[in-house]
Structure 1
Amino acid sequence: MLTASRSLALNAEAGRELPRVPAFEALYNRGVRPRHGNVIMVAGRSGTQKSGFALFWVSQMDLPTLYFSADMSPFTASSRLASMVMGETTEEVEEGMAGPRRQEYLDALAPSKIQFSFGSPISWPKVDQELEAYVELWDAYPSVLVFDNLMDFDGAESDYTEQMAVMSNATELARNTGSTVILMHHASDKSWEAKSDPWAPPSRDQVKGGLSEKPELSLSVALDPNSMEYRVACIKQRMGPCDPTARKYSVIWCEPEYTRFHANSPLNRANIMGVPR
């Protein structure tokens, strides 16, 4: 048992704000404060670049990260990361890896602090094994754990009880390790809102299983393929403002082919740089 002061002293480090990513300036301006040691959910409908968003986020924070991917293949994940670093499309990376530029890409990825674990379904015994191996190698827990995604956990595809167990275990994992846990999750593609306004971030009640209410921070995302606006709404935040309806969202800009996100639109950035796009 801990007194309030003792608990605050022990957990002050865990509550620090995560490193800010310049591309997410609009999100921070709305009072969103992702913190160390929190469980964070990124929810969206199918095809909304949730994996790309998470990969870009952890890459830009440059924190030691263990990324569990059931959605992406090893080549897809690594080529996306190379695309982000090199400023080339994934197709260009694939072509370059098959030719004389292979070592150039490998050298570009060498400084990355992201380590991957692939395979579906994700199981807790596998998570334990990977964490043990990580600690053995680095003598520390990773600063960030990413699970992509919640419904790819063993038994959690359609079982609400298993999905709740994933959330409970993720929370316990964050408490015991001090790691930030980022979980990807799906929102409904069949709701009236999804059909009538598909480019709007889903509200809290559209997140499958009502699980967005459990983390300290839940973000709802959507991509407008016409403008490449990436719309991010804070639908749950324990220590700050949020909007469960997701109508108040922040806009950043997405370049899916490069797995990059920007604070300004491509047109504005081109005008500033004097470079046509």
Structure 2
Amino acid sequence: MADKGFILRRGQLALVAAGPGTGKSAFALTQALKSRVPTLYLSADSDAFVQLTRSLSILMGWTLEQSARAVLRDDLGAAQQVLAGLPIRFEFSASPTLDQIELTMAAYEEVYGSYPTLVVVDNITNVQAGLGEDEGSAGLDRLMDYLSTMARETRACVLGLHHVTSGFNDADKPVPLSGVKNQVSRVPALIGTMFKPVRDEWSEDVLCFSKVKDRNGRADPSGHDYVELRFAGDRMLIEDMAA
């Protein structure tokens, strides 16, 4: 069995890939909120309303419907104090360029006196790498090089979220390293993939996480060596099955 620990390290680029609606954004946001480390979250894929309601559900245990009502009524109650103490800052540009990312990192360092410990890029395909509209894989390769260099120079852990190839979009089976869209697996030091197995109607939702690349340890490129996490999508709850 491969070592299943998915350890995010400062100074390195990590990537998590999954099909649409699998829960990769919930995974990244949970990591950012519950680790309580200084975080810059580049939320190109989701707006402020979505991220606030998700954050409330993760932190307070509310359903997304309850969180949305609280936000719309501007009645956060006890949650307001919880949110105020979090060391996380969001940037909501829908199509950030490399220059904008660099400026945002510089501004963060200027305001807080140091670079963030964690930087989340959600999703990497939203970033404009500067090669034109048809940049495709070449643009993503350039972006991977850029984010890896940024991680080394700032000592931040950079976590990018990405998609998978069409054969794995149903998110119902393990995703191998070869299933990462555009084959951008050369640069990241750590890559994980996610899927949700099909269970009977009485089973609880399960999120399966596979470590398919790890420069610092063993991994299973086939994706068939995975851990199971309990996942309640209506509350953005992700936790170990033993919990």
Report the TM-score when normalising by structure 2: 0.89
Q: Structure 1 residue 218 and structure 2 residue 191: aligned?
A: yes
Q: Is contact 1:83-1:259 (8 Å) kept?
A: yes
Q: How does 1:135-146 map to 2 (within 5 A)?
A: 135-146=109-120
Q: Give the 3-state SS of the residue equivalent to 1:115 in structure 2.
A: strand
Q: Give the 3-state SS of the residue equivalent to 2:217 in structure 1.
A: coil
Tell me which stretches of 4 or more aligned residues in structure 1 moved more than 6 Å.
none
Distance verdict in 2 for CA 1:89–1:134, change over 3 Å:
same
Q: Give the 3-state SS of the residue equivalent to 1:119 in structure 2.
A: coil
Q: Give the 3-state SS of the residue equivalent to 1:202 in structure 2.
A: coil
Which is higher, the Rg of structure 1 or of structure 2? Answer: 1
Q: Structure 1 residue 123 and structure 2 residue 100: aligned?
A: no
Q: C-alpha deviations, 1:87-146, integer Å up to 9, x for none?
A: 101210121233473343322211111110002112111112211221121000000111
- Residue identity opposite 2:162 in structure 1: H
Q: C-alpha deviations, 1:194-215, integer Å up to 9, x for none?
A: 56xx412311111111112321
Q: Structure 1 residue 70 and structure 2 residue 47: aligned?
A: no
Q: Is contact 1:232-1:249 (8 Å) kept?
A: yes
Aligned to 2:182: 209
* Larger RCO: 1 or 2 (CA < 8 Å, sep 6+): 2
Deviation of the 1:240 alpha carbon: 0.6
Distance verdict in 2 for CA 1:156–1:221, change over 3 Å:
farther
Distance verdict in 2 for CA 1:107–1:148, change over 3 Å:
same
Q: Give the 3-state SS of the residue equivalent to 1:257 in structure 2.
A: coil
RMSD: 2.1
Distance verdict in 2 for CA 1:30–1:152, change over 3 Å:
same
Gaps of 5+ in 2: none
- Name the CA distance, whole Å, in 1 between partners of 2:135 and 2:219: 28
Aligned to 1:244: 221
Alignment identity in percent? 25
- Name the CA distance, whole Å, in 2 between partners of 1:75 and 1:100: 12
Q: Structure 1 residue 30 and structure 2 residue 7: aligned?
A: no
Q: Give the 3-state SS of the residue equivalent to 2:15 in structure 1.
A: strand
Q: Structure 1 residue 86 and structure 2 residue 63: aligned?
A: no
Distance verdict in 2 for CA 1:243–1:110, change over 3 Å:
same
Gaps of 5+ in 1: 1-26, 270-277
Q: Which has the higher helix share?
A: 1
- Residue identity opposite 1:184 in structure 2: L
- Name the CA distance, whole Å, in 2 between partners of 1:100 and 1:119: 24
- Residue identity opposite 1:232 in structure 2: F
Selected match of 1:44 from 13, 18, 38: 18
Q: Is contact 1:228-1:255 (8 Å) kept?
A: yes
Q: Give the 3-state SS of the residue equivalent to 2:185 in structure 1.
A: helix
Distance verdict in 2 for CA 1:110–1:45, change over 3 Å:
same
Distance verdict in 2 for CA 1:33–1:205, change over 3 Å:
same
- Residue identity opposite 1:55 in structure 2: L
Aligned to 1:20: none
